[in-house]
Amino acid sequence: MSQEVSMVNEKRMRETFEELVRIYAPSKGERDVCDLLKKKLKALGASEIIEDNNGSVEGGDSGNLIAVFPANAEGLPSVALTAHMDCVECCRGIDPVLEGGVYRSRSETILGSDDKAGVAAILEGLALMKENFIPHGKVTAIFTVQEEIGLVGSKNIEEKYLQDIDFGYTFDADGEAGHVFTAGPSHYAMKFTFHGKAAHAGMEPEKGLNAIAMAAKAIASCPSGRIDEETTCNIGTITGGRATNIIPELCVVEAEARSRDEGKLEKLVGEIVAAFENAAGTFPSGTLEIEKVKEYDAFRIEETAPLMNLFRMACKEAGFAVKTAPCGGGSDANFFCVKGFPSVLVGVGMTDFHTNRESLREKDLYDAGELVYRLLEAESHFAGESEA
């Protein structure tokens, strides 16, 4: 399939991306990015620019940013374009370098393409929409906060801003333009706190009860890793003990479980909890506290859904091959699907994200911007479609 001539203003996209990644924007510290985006969205002609949660989500310095571009044609779907503003830490002082057609960070920081590539792609698509005067339905750009620390922004987004959106696209995944993740897992977080008894390890160890030993027995009998093609679990952190000469009286184990199948997930969580309870039961003088929280629910979009029809149409116009797959991680799409509108997770080309090896091909950046525009352009052939 031969690609059509790109509509993207490459110089503008490079400048936008580089400006964005240079801004220090850890989770809960997105204010500078938020303020910059407000200016850019106003210049692009947004009729409303809203910062929800009164400008602070769970103690952060900004809210989710929602910008509305009214429909200029009747009968076209109302579409959301989403990305997140924050980065994982090690994002202070990012200095992007473009060499050999690939972006990397000059220093030991991350690059920040997760998710500044998604943000830049949406801004470019909106700019092209304005410049080419294309007919479109209502377009809502949503830039969330605190995605990297548990999808906190999308979890807390004010639902009144989502109600009339037919469907959306979350630009926050690896894979080149045309790659789309149509399913994502539910996720449980678990915390197990073992209480033993402190004693001097050399003088009277028999008077103590080792909480770390209690935890170790539980972990040894616990499922771990990949359970099947759609189910995983992991023991993530273990903390406990004060010194080598003190029998540890406390040990805390944190774990997670994920699956795209709710029945499998509930069964797995039950097995993990049972493993910890059974191990604790072999230490009658000790105690165990269990906390489990379902962090988010799974989503699944059918191949025949209207948002997928539009996606395929846009990719065909741009010359991008469509590749669908399920995702093993959580994203803002999980909460959008539950709270307001169906959404898929779209690739923007990022690689090795969350590490100092992170990179982004220049071509993938441009293609992501092209795809956003082609989605909006293809709307004019999509009258009457809805997610009903």
Out of 296, 323, 344, a domain closes at: 296
Q: Mention every residue, 6+ apart, whose C-beta is less than 8 A from residue 72.
A: 135, 136
Residue 366's Cβ-side half-sphere holds a number of Cα atoms within 13 Å equal to 16
Does residue 4 lie within any of the structural domains?
no
Residue 166 in marked binding region: no
Range of the domain at 268: 186-296
Report the CATH number that the domain containing residue 354 is assigned in CATH: 3.40.630.10
Residue 70: CB atoms within 10 Å: 12
**83 forms bridges with which residues in the sheet?**
143
Domain boundary among the residues 277, 296, 315 is at 296
For residues 258 and 308, state if they share a domain: no
56 with 147, same domain: the answer is: yes
Pairing relation of β-strands 65-69 and 139-144?
Answer: antiparallel
pLDDT at res. 386: 47
In whole angstroms, what is the distance from residue 346 CA to residue 354 CA? 18
Residue 332 lies in a domain: yes
Close Cβ partners of 77 (under 8 Å, ≥ 6 residues apart): 137, 166, 167, 306, 310, 379, 382, 385, 386
SS (H, E, C) 81-132: EEEECCECCCCCCCCEEEECCEEEECCCCCCCHHHHHHHHHHHHHHHHHHHH
Shared domain check, 370 and 346 = yes
Pair (173, 206) in one structural domain: no
Residue 104 lies in a domain: yes
Q: What distance in Å separates the CA atoms of residue 313 and residue 13, rounded to the nearest whole number?
A: 24
- Residue 274 lies inside a defined structural domain of this protein: yes
Are 167 and 200 part of one and the same domain? no
| pLDDT at site 385 | 52
Residue 293: per-residue pLDDT: 96
Q: Are residues 105 and 217 in the same domain?
A: no
Q: Domain for residue 61, yes or no?
A: yes
User: Do the domain assignments include residue 1?
Assistant: no
Report DSSP state, residue 304.
Answer: T
Q: Are residues 202 and 221 in the same domain?
A: yes
Same domain, 120 and 193: no
In a 10 Å sphere around its CB, with 0-12 CB exposed, 13-18 middle and 19+ buried, how is residue 234 labelled? middle
Q: Which of 101, 104, 20 is nearest to 355 (CA)?
A: 104
Q: What is the pLDDT of residues 122-170, one digit of tens each?
A: 999 999 999 999 999 999 999 999 999 999 999 999 999 999 999 999 9
Assess whether 112 and 220 both reside in one domain.
Answer: no
157 domain residue, yes or no: yes
* Residue 214 pLDDT: 97
pLDDT per position as a tens digit, 87-97: 999 999 999 99
Nearest residue to 37 (alpha-carbon basis) of 142, 188, 191, 155? 142
Q: Which of 263, 296, 329 is the last residue of a domain?
A: 296
Pure H helices in 291-361:
306-318, 332-339
Q: Work out how many domains the chain is built from and give that number.
A: 2
Per-residue pLDDT 10s for the chain (388 aa) are 444 567 899 999 999 999 999 999 999 999 999 999 999 999 999 999 999 999 999 999 999 999 999 999 999 999 999 999 999 999 999 999 999 999 999 999 999 999 999 999 999 999 999 999 999 999 999 999 999 999 999 999 999 999 999 999 999 999 999 999 999 999 999 999 999 999 999 999 999 999 999 999 999 999 999 999 999 999 999 999 999 999 999 999 999 999 999 999 999 999 999 999 999 999 999 999 999 999 999 999 999 999 999 999 999 999 999 999 999 999 999 999 999 899 999 999 999 999 999 999 999 999 999 999 999 999 988 765 544 3
| Residue that has been written with the tokens 């406990």 in this structure | 240
| Radius of gyration over every alpha carbon of the chain, rounded to an integer in angstroms | 24
pLDDT of residue 49: 98
Which element (helix H / strand E) includes 224? none
pLDDT at 6: 75
208 and 310 in a single domain? The answer is no
At residue 229, what are phi and psi to the nearest 5 degrees? -65, -15
Q: What is the pLDDT of residues 324-376, one digit of tens each?
A: 999 999 999 999 999 989 999 999 999 999 999 999 999 999 999 999 999 99
Same domain, 281 and 341: no
> Are 118 and 210 within one domain?
no
Do the annotations mark residue 148 as ligand-binding? yes
Residue 14 covered by a domain:
yes
Q: Enumerate the active-site residues.
A: 147
Domain with 281 in it: what CATH number? 3.30.70.360
